[in-house]
Structure formats: C-alpha cells, structure tokens
Amino acid sequence: MRYNKIIVRVSATLIIFVASFWTPATKKLPTAQEIRPTASLQEALCQSHQIPNHLCFFCDPSLREPGRLWCNEHERYEDRCFICRPEFKDDDRLWCEAHKLYEDECFICRPELQDVPNAVEEQRVNPAVSSPAQGTPSKELQCLEHGVLERECGICHPELIDRLSIGQGLKIRLASSDSAEKAGIISTVPTAGIPAARHTFFGKTTYNQNRFARITPLTGGIVQKVLIDVGTSVSEGELLAGISSPEFTQAKSKYLSALADESLKEIIFEREKRLLKKKISPRQDYEQARAEYRMAKSDKEALLQQLLNYGLTGEEIHTLEETDSSSSFLPIRAPFTGTLVSRNAVIGEVVKPGDILFDLADISSMWVELSIPESNLSLVKINDPVEVTCDVLPDVNVRGHITWISTGIDERTRMIKGRAVVPNTAFQLKQGMFCHIHLLSEKHTGSLFISADALHTLHNKPFVFVKLSDDLYEARRIITGSKNRGTLEILDGLSPHEEVVVDHSFTLKSELLKSRLGVGCVDE
C-alpha cells in the first residue's frame, strides 16, 4: 500500500511538470496540496493505467471518440498506432507515451484541452486530419495486413458491423487466392423471380371509371345514322352516330340570325363613332349604338357556345357560317380514344336528352375492386404494389398498385373496400372477372433470390457474403423478404450481377469474428 502511494505521488508530480510547459501564463497551476492524492482519489484511479477511471478510455470503450477506430493489439487509436503504421508519425509533435496521444491533444495531461476552441477541437474529433501547421491533406487509414481501408477491415474491426447500413459491408481478406477453393467456398449470382406475396385478397375487375363515358344527346330527336358497332375501337372526335333534331336546326338558325345582327350593329356602331368624332351626331346616339352592338355580340357568343355543346367543331361552325346550312343532322362523337363496350342507339328510334346511346371505355387499364378483412387493414397502404391473377387466365399475372382505400367498414361483412389500377395492354382482363390480388413486398423493384443457406445473422441483423475477388469477400448487410422451400428473397442491398457465397460461408464468418478470440492486427 505504501508503494502505491509513492507511485501515485510520483505520477501526480510528473503531470504537474508536463503541464507547466503547456499551461498559458494566465492559468494558475494547482499546488501540490491541491493535487495530493487522497484515499478516495486512489480508489478512483485505474489500476492498469493509473489515471482516473472516468477518463480511462483504454478500459472503457464508451469514453473513446465516436467513429474513431481502436487498435486492440496495441491499446491506442488506430491513427496513433505507429507500430502498425510508422509512416503516420509526426516527428515535429511531442508524444505522450503514457496515454498514446500527441501532447497537444492529450486531454488527460492537459485538462484545459477539454474546453479548447473549435479549431483544436476539430482536430481532436477528426484525428485523420493532419496538424494545421503542416497544411497537408488528410490520409485514409489503410490496413497494411489485409490490403483494405481500415474502416472496411472486418478482420481487424468486426465491431464496426453494428454501424453498417443496408448495402454496406466489411471486407475479409483470405490468406491467398486459392484459400477459398481449399475451404470449399462456392459462390453464385442471385436469380431473378416473381416476388412472394405478403397477403392475398379477393376482388373483381371493372372498367377504369376515370376513362369511361356514357354518351348521350344534349337534345331530343330521331336516330338517323349509326356508324360504329359495339366492340369497335374509336379515336377521340370520331363520328359515332347522327340524330335528326328540330331543336338543333333552331339553334343553328338562331346563331346565324345573331351573327347577322351582330354584323349590322357593328356597322352602325362604327358609323356613330365616326360621326361623333366629327361632332355631327350627338354622344347619346353613339352610346346607344355601342350598347346594342355589345348585346348583339353577347347573344351571338351564347348561341355559339350552344352549338359547341351540341358537339359541332370549330371547322363545322365556320362551314355553317359560309353556307348558311339549315340541316338538322346532329353529330355524336367520341370524347376520347377507347372501345365501345355497349350500344343502345338504333336507327329510327326517338331519343331525348340523357338517353344513353353508347358506353365508351379505355380498356388499356382496369380497376380491381378488392375486399380487405378488417384485421388486415394495417397491412395495406395506398401505393402498395400488387399482382393480380385470375383463375380463368392461369398464365396471366399483371402488376399495379393500390390507389384507394375506403374510409368506412361494411358493418355486415366487416370488410373494407379498396381499389387497385393495373395495366391491360394485352386486353386479356375483362369486366367483372373474379381475381386474386396479391400484396407484394413494399420494396419490390424486381426481386432477387438466393439459397437460404447463404444467410447469416450478425448482431441480430441479416448478412450475406459477397465475392469481390478470389481472395477478398464482403459481409454485406441486406433486407430479406419471404423464404420458401430453401429459397430466400432479397429486397435490398444486393445487385443482380454480384456473386453470393452459398456454400461453406461459415469459413468467412469465422475469419470475420476471429479477432474476438484474440487474433487481430499483428506487428509489421
């Protein structure tokens, strides 16, 4: 016990001696009485390193700077381990051998460094940056033993595996290029396939109501012509039928009269305008002519809009103005490109406004109405990808996404209505088909599948080993999907062209974790 006290006192004296060279003149040094170790101070010292326990980053990893690699072999930060990498040592900076740090950053010897300005603090937090006095660029730490970046070396730093995000990994270098072959390691590229469904619901196909129209006349009359039959594909604006309508004839007649009246009132207005300018006609006549011209123009515009509502095009109205035609033929045209899915128009039939002549649908896409059990409501979200299959079309499966989920539940069936939109470019889906809606994985981008034997769990996270070269492999973090008959779905973290180890991968796992058994970096 006496010798321990002597050692503590000698250590304290050395601390004061070193601090005297670095402490600013304005900072008062503690006296020997103030630093004299007491029984409580001795108990607070780390027995291995003789520094306060609350500062001993050698023993307590939580006290080390976040993100800074630690050399377990030599008990110091990797960027201060000059045994492993002597080329990093700066001979112009004093070295604290006791704490394996440069003197100008040793916050144990110099407690005032814990409150240093930002510039010095940045050097402490980011030790890869060289001294500002040097003005040299930062160096990326290399693991000389394994020929990879130190921050990627899985053999020297398996603890970094907790920091990996999806698609990142730690590298494992084997002893030689034929080590994998001797160990029986076999790798292969993943295979593409149909993603497994998370859940399946029942549904029924129907026309896309956003691309569906019931074509009706805006005025009564007699069907004079029917030019298109049901099942025919038509283009936007194509003529479907014609109706003989007395009301349509009257509308054209009124428009032509309004057009002539507007022309006459315009002439009178222009004449009164010239006379007023010459002070021949009173202003009252000018104002009256202008008002009558505006009223005539407004009446003409209203009748023009009525003809446009009837379905006449601008070109047909221009022809009407040129020819003064009084024909009663009212054209019925397609409002958009699609297929006639029903027809009620018959030649000679009397129709009135609102009577359905045709149903037009764009069948290049279909709605699928589905029923979701109340217990599965939390599993379904808008924009979730789905795959639709029909029993009557066993070879057809189309993919779409959820576009709507009802805000109410059917009290009788306890089901929630939903809707998906799927493409129908081959026109194989028909109105009213019963089908199955398979809810796909959320991250589906074209699923990849590997053998389930390739999967490993490290720190409760899924990993696979990816081959980078004959002697270099990577423990890659991934996201897994469904597992079926020995096949595992990979949702993210792997590319189609990368080779995954599917046999004897435990050899690589042993290499990754062997430093936990005391095998790690060795002296060069």
Is the pLDDT at 345 greater than 50, yes or no? yes
DSSP state of 312: -
Q: How far apart (Å, rounded) are the C-alpha atoms in residues 141 and 143? A: 7
476 or 102, greater pLDDT: 476
CATH number at residue 175: 2.40.420.20
CA distances to 48, 401, 409, 426, 463 from 364, in Å: 77, 15, 31, 8, 42
Contact at 8 Å (CB) between 360 and 216?
no
Q: Are residues 240 and 354 in the same domain?
A: yes
In the structure, what pLDDT confidence band is assigned to residue 214 with cuts at 50, 70 and 90? Answer: very high
Share of the chain above pLDDT 70, in %: 73
Residue 310 has pLDDT above 60, yes or no: yes
- The lowest-confidence range among 199-203, 214-218, 479-483, 489-493 is 479-483
- At residue 459, the pLDDT reads 83
pLDDT score at 340 = 94
Work out the mean pLDDT of the chain and round it to a whole number. 78
Asked whether residue 444 carries a pLDDT value surpassing 70, the answer given is no
Contacts of residue 82, Cβ cutoff 8 Å, sequence gap at least 6 = 88, 89
Among the three residues 386, 409, 439, which one is the final residue of a domain in this structure? 439
| Greatest mean pLDDT among 186-190, 204-208, 265-269, 322-326 | 204-208
Range 146-154 average pLDDT: 80
The reply to whether 70 falls in a domain is yes
* Residue-wise pLDDT tens digits, 254-287: 888 888 888 898 898 888 888 888 888 888 888 8
- 486 belongs to a structural domain: yes
Residues 377 and 254 in one domain: no
Q: Which of 13-27, 153-167, 196-210 has the lowest mean pLDDT?
A: 13-27
Q: What is the pTM of this model?
A: 0.46
State the Cα angle at 394 between 392 and 395, rounded to 5°.
130
Higher-scoring residue by pLDDT: 464, 48: 464
Q: Looking at residues 106-122, what average pLDDT do you find?
A: 53
**What pLDDT is attached to residue 1?**
43
Q: 510 vs 155, 172, 183, 458, 516, CA distance in Å?
A: 9, 10, 12, 12, 10
CATH number at 302 reads 2.40.50.100
Please determine, for residue 246, whether its predicted confidence score (pLDDT) is greater than 80.
yes
Most confident of the ranges 37-46, 205-214, 382-391: 205-214
432: CATH: 2.40.30.170
- The answer to whether residue 336 scores a pLDDT higher than 80 is yes
Selected residue with higher pLDDT from 429 and 319? 429
How high is the pLDDT of residue 408? 92
Cα-flanking dihedrals φ and ψ of residue 499, to 5°? Answer: -90, 130
- Predicted confidence at residue 152, as pLDDT, reads 80
- Cβ atoms < 10 Å from Cβ of 459: 11
**Whether 504 and 420 share a structural domain:** no
Is there a domain that residue 347 lies in? Answer: yes
The first and second tokens of residue 442, run together, are 């959320």
- Same domain for 190 and 251? no
Contact 509, 457 (CB under 8 A): no
Over residues 301-307, the mean pLDDT reads: 88
Residue 145 included in any domain: no
> With bands split at pLDDT 50, 70 and 90, how would you rate the model's confidence at 49?
low
Return the top range by mean pLDDT from 32-36, 189-193, 370-374: 370-374
- 91-121 burial code (b ≥16 CB/10 A, e <16): eeeebbebbbbbbbbbbbbbeebeebeeeee
Domain end position, chosen among 360, 378, 411:
360
Tell me: the pLDDT tens digits for 381-431?
Answer: 898 888 898 989 888 889 899 999 999 999 898 899 999 999 998 899 999
Q: Which of 98, 93, 85, 96 is nearest to 132 (CA)?
A: 93
What single string gives the DSSP state of each residue in 294-349? HHHHHHHHHHHHHHHHHT--HHHHHHHHHH-----EEEEE-SSSEEEEEE---TT-
Structure token digits, residue 210: 């956003």
> Distance between CA atoms of 310 and 216, rounded to whole angstroms?
11
CB contact set of 218 (below 8 Å; sequence gap of 6+): 309, 310, 311, 353
Residues 356, 221: one domain? Answer: yes
- Predicted pLDDT of residue 211: 93
9 and 87 in a common domain: yes
Section 169-193 average pLDDT: 85
Tokens 């050395």, located at residue = 14
From CA 211, how far away is CA 364, in angstroms rounded? Answer: 9
Q: Give yes or no: residues 40 and 133 share one domain.
A: yes
**By residue range, what is the domain housing residue 77?**
2-139
| β-sheet bridge partners, residue 261 | none
Residue the block writes with tokens 């029984």 = 39
Asked if the model's pLDDT at residue 225 lies above 80, the reply is: yes
Co-location of 356 and 224 in the same domain: yes
Top-confidence residue, 269 or 522: 269
Domain final residue pick, 439, 455, 473: 439
Rounded CA-CA distance 461/477 in Å is 7
67 and 114 fall within a common domain: yes
Q: Does 51 share its domain with 130?
A: yes
Same domain as 353, residue 223 = yes
Predicted local confidence at residue 421, as pLDDT: 94
Please indicate, yes or no, if residue 188 is contained in any of the structural domains: yes
Q: Is the pLDDT of residue 175 over 90?
A: no
- Consecutive H or E run containing 229: none
Residue 290 CA to residue 475 CA, distance in Å, equals 86
156 touches 143 (CB < 8 A): yes
In this structure, of 77-86, 249-258, 337-346, 357-366, the range with the lowest mean pLDDT score is 77-86
With CA atoms as reference, report the closest residue to 363 among 241, 240, 233. Answer: 233
Give φ, ψ of 311 to 5 degrees: 115, 5
Give 350-367 pLDDT, tens digit per residue: 999 889 999 999 999 999
Query: How far, in Å, CA of 158 to CA of 152, rounded?
Result: 9
Could you tell me if residue 144 is inside a domain?
A: no
Q: How far apart are CA 217 and CA 354, in angstroms?
A: 6
Residue 179 pLDDT greater than 70, yes or no: yes
Residue 186 has pLDDT above 80, yes or no: yes
Q: Is the pLDDT of residue 204 over 70?
A: yes
Any domain includes 524: no
- Total number of domains in the chain: 4
**3-class DSSP assignment, residue 168:** coil
The predicted structure's pLDDT at residue 176: 87
> Are 450 and 190 spatial neighbours (Cβ–Cβ below 8 Å)?
yes
User: Residue 523 falls within a domain, yes or no?
Assistant: no
DSSP letters, 239-270, are EEEEEE-HHHHHHHHHHHHHHHHHHHHHHHHH
Q: Which pLDDT belongs to residue 395?
A: 82
pLDDT score recorded for residue 131: 38
* Claim to verify: residue 404 and residue 490 sit in the same structural domain: no
Q: Work out the angle between the directed axes of helices 314-323 and 246-277 (0-180°, nearest 10).
A: 70
Quote the CA–CA distance of 180 and 173 in Å, as a whole number.
Answer: 10
